[in-house]
Amino acid sequence: MSGWRLFWTLAGFLAFIIVLIFLYFYQPFEDLFTLVLHGLTFDNSIFWIALIIGIIGFCSYHWRAYRLYIVQQDSIESIVLSSLRGSTFVAILLSAGAALQSVQSLCVHLLRQAQIDSGLGAPLAAATALVVLTAVFCVIFWLLKVVHAARGNA
């Protein structure tokens, strides 16, 4: 890196540090941060991990698609399909993480109660709905992959 690129990189890092310092002393953000940290337990840790990975994956996938389809190929249609495919993959990741968390909650409910009772319906319905939602997102992802491949061959 040299010249202006180095300057803007360092300026960006400095701005990022200033924003983090501001957020550290900003009371509503501090309240939100402590609420999130105190709300993080073993019962919902799987979903939080899936959420963090989903956010990082969403940003990196779209950055890669932008560099490939806008900077190199100058193709708006391809970036739209690629962005939809990336967003659908993140939706799969988030719904699968929520489904896994729901199945874990269902298992914890069954292990604590040691019997099947009326309280089993809500966790069972939630787990089933999330598994079906994950399957729907998988089908949409597959369709977008087929459309993108067919468009590339045409």
Q: How far apart are CA 124 and CA 107, in angstroms?
A: 10
Specify whether 88 is located in the same domain as 13: no
List pLDDT tens digits, range 73-115: 877 777 888 888 888 999 998 899 888 888 888 888 788 877 7
Specify whether 49 is located in the same domain as 122: yes
pLDDT for residue 132 is more than 60? yes
Q: How far apart are CA 46 and CA 102, in angstroms?
A: 10
Specify whether 66 is located in the same domain as 31: no
CA dihedral 151, 89, 61, 42 (to 10 degrees): 180
Specify whether 62 is located in the same domain as 103: yes
Task: Quote the pLDDT of residue 33.
Answer: 66
pLDDT for residue 135 is more than 90? yes
Whether the model pTM is above 0.85: no
Specify whether 138 is located in the same domain as 78: yes
Specify whether 14 is located in the same domain as 75: no
Specify whether 110 is located in the same domain as 138: yes
pLDDT for residue 137 is more than 90? yes
Specify whether 106 is located in the same domain as 80: yes
- Amino acid in position 91: A
Specify whether 35 is located in the same domain as 49: no
4 against 135, higher pLDDT: 135
Question: Structural domain of residue 99, as residue ranges?
Answer: 42-153
Specify whether 31 is located in the same domain as 91: no
135 against 41, higher pLDDT: 135
52 against 25, higher pLDDT: 52
Q: Give the pair of three-digit tokens for residue 79.
A: 């970036």
Specify whether 29 is located in the same domain as 51: no
Specify whether 8 is located in the same domain as 72: no
49 Cβ neighbours under 8 A, 6+ residues apart? 97
As for how many domains the chain has, the answer is 2
